[in-house]
A = this chain, B = another copy of it.
Amino acid sequence: MLDALPDRVSVYEVSPRDGLQNEAAPIATAAKVRLIEALVRAGLTRIEVTSFVSPRWIPQLADADELLPLLSAPPGVTFSALCPNARGLERARASGLEEIAVFMSASETHNQKNTNKSTEASLRTFREVVSSALEGGMRVRAYVSTVWGCPYEGAVDPARALSITEQLLEMGCYQVSLGDTIGVGTPLQTRTLGKLFLSEFPQEKLALHLHDTRGTALANALVGLDLGFRHFDASVAGLGGCPYAPGAAGNLATEDLVYMLSGMGVETGLDLERLVEAGQVAEAVVGRRLPGKVHQAGVSSLRSA
């Protein structure tokens, strides 16, 4: 274990979208800008900033069209947004985004409840959306949710996630992020799933999107790292969860992931001190303590220890 750690891994930040989407109280667009600017200062170069899902589904992100003109991505930084359909793609295009993300679930029931579509219908929709996005020069990332388990169905056949991943990559998505949406995965399950996916697809086509609902996110990330995954989704201060998955709360905290990685000599290009600051901004934005650990322990404690 940990015999061949990589020099570098890549972190995809999801806090402004996956992190904020299930906040109950409205959050001002200006506060979202502050969070995103803090993330950029920390060195994050790939940030999912909002969603073009219907405001009826995710009221918290209804200000996407207002938010995007307020953001300017410095050179080397890519902002992306979730796009459920052709209408979302239109809005993404109008906002000048160069990257979008499409999303669906491995489990039929979760996909139905989360997107109001069958998985077949989601794939049909994405065939058009992805093709149209690519023609317009955009890059497209994809999420497959509930790969480790579904809040409605329980265990999910890995063959479903494999087949969906294959189809999303064939459509031209540059990467598929595999989600433990309800944070139910154990390291052993992560090993089994991870080996399976890495035997079918090159690592650069895959990412891990882990939730910490039962405390296992970082341990699962470690197993993924050991298996050969090099792309990890994370959310500063552990902001977030999935609004449609009962019991789901807490993404893998970016600063905790980066603390672990940098302490093992794995470079992420991120500045831990500024990530801690971004975590504090995230807490100010939502007005409460967030579960990530390193932003609470602080950087001075890292130096003294």
Contacts and interface: CB of A to CB of B under 8 A. Distances in A.
Contacts of A191: 1-2
B265 A188 contact: yes
A298 interface: yes
A182 interface: yes
A213 interface: yes
Nearest to A182: B305
A294 B256 CA distance: 19
A214 interface: yes
Contacts of A214: 256, 259-260, 293-294, 297, 302
Contact of A216 (B2, B213, B259, B291): B259
Contacts of A256: 214-216
A16 interface: no
A149 interface: yes
A150 interface: yes
A304 interface: yes
A265 B294 CA distance: 30
A218 interface: yes
Contact of A189 (B223, B247, B263, B304): B263
Instruction: Report which residue of A184, A186, A218, A305 has the largest number of chain B beta carbons within 10 angstroms of its beta carbon.
Output: A305
A216 B216 contact: no
A250 interface: yes
Given A293-B250, A297-B213, A305 B259 contact: no
Contact of A187 (B213, B260, B294, B297): B260
A183 B263 CA distance: 13
B150 A260 contact: no
Interface in A243-287: 246-247, 249-250, 253, 256, 259-260, 263-265
A182 B305 CA distance: 8
A212 interface: yes
12 contacts: A150-B305, A151-B304, A151-B305, A154-B305, A184-B302, A186-B259, A186-B263, A213-B297, A215-B256, A215-B293, A215-B294, A219-B222
| Nearest 9 pairs of A and B residues by beta carbon | A247-B301, A215-B256, A186-B263, A215-B293, A1-B1, A188-B264, A184-B305, A219-B219, A149-B305
